[in-house]
Amino acid sequence: MKKHNFYAGPSILPEYTIENTAKAIKDFAGTGLSILEISHRSKQFVAVMDEAVSLFKELLKIPEGYSVLFVGGGASTQFAMIPFNIMKKKSAYLNTGAWAKKAIKEAKVFGEVDVVASSEDKNFNYIPKGYTIPADADYFHITTNNTIYGTEIREDLDCPVPLVADMSSDIFSRPVDVSKYAIIYGGAQKNLAPAGVTFVIVKNDILGKMDRVIPTMLNYQTHIEKESMFNTPPCLPVFSALQTLQWLKNNGGIAAMEQKNIEKADLLYNEIDRNKLFVGTVAKEDRSLMNICFVMNEEYKDLEVGFFEFATAKGMVGIKGHRSVGGFRASTYNALPKESVEVLVTAMQEFESMKG
């Protein structure tokens, strides 16, 4: 039976990426060696890194004056690296979920943190509006897509201070005006590559202004100067990321991907709103295109386990909601085909006709 992969991360990747990575594990670039055992200094792998950086810049239309880095440590390490590198006294954060809270915690190690607004009062089911960003903040940090709760900031904010964004789960899902950001970063395991590599887009001129000593591995300048090769990079995930970037380009680029994502999301949200058994958990204006969260309507709560088993029997995996929200979560990342969403919608309709 065909599996429909709705896992939130690690998550579905393009078949193109999986097949090419599998081949490279056996024989990388005709070397007779596996990508798992090749030197990161070899000309073949250096070419992988160079092309990955180049395609990153091309697909996102990254302007001059920015560097693209591939590093280890996950987005969680970036929570500390960012204030270490660019926070002198004070930063501002928007609290929209669990990962934003973790980023705030790390920033507080380095100085004052102004949480300008929070949606925790309603279990993060909306994006706060109407807040004021302090003009004396060294930067303002947002999490653009909240994987657990299913909210998303889908516009590039005009910000009076340097803007920093965690785009772990929505990078490459829509066009981004990179010029509005000082740093964009994210773990790759949700829309780009297997777990193990973290991408960072950093505006070069915001660096080098700290009085503090920054440890070598936590200094962005180190990785810029050594072109992500100061230490051994996560070679396999970088190779897989390159395959996904090629796949994105071959399939019309980011604008085309956004249109497909809108179609998938509309299909599922329309069914959630129509079906009497289900209800969405997020304010409609803040709904994510990447992580679609919903629960059983209150009067049908006892059917939750039944629907989970029904969907699982039809080949759906990863559809269970996060424990802090409950219900269901369908992660509709770039690589998820529309067919999988159609199968889910059909299952919802069938279950309604049986139980409603």
Residues with catalytic annotation?
99, 166, 190
Identity of the residue numbered 104: I
Give, as one character, the DSSP assignment of residue 315: T
**CA 200 → CA 56, 187, 220, 268, 325, distances in Å?**
11, 9, 9, 32, 29
Left, alpha or beta for 276 (phi > 0: left; psi -120 to 50: alpha)? alpha
**CA 172 → CA 65, 108, 129, 175, distances in Å?**
20, 30, 25, 7
**Number of helices and strands (H, E) in the chain?**
9, 14
Length of the chain: 356
Q: How far is CA 119 from the centre of its chain?
A: 20
Q: Round to whole Å and give the CA distance between 1 and 174.
A: 32
**Residue 259 and residue 282 in contact, taking contact as beta carbons nearer than 8 Å:** no
State the DSSP string of 128-174: --S----TT-S-EEEESEETTTTEE--S----SS-EEEE-TTTTTSS
Q: Round to whole Å and give the CA distance between 44 and 32.
A: 12
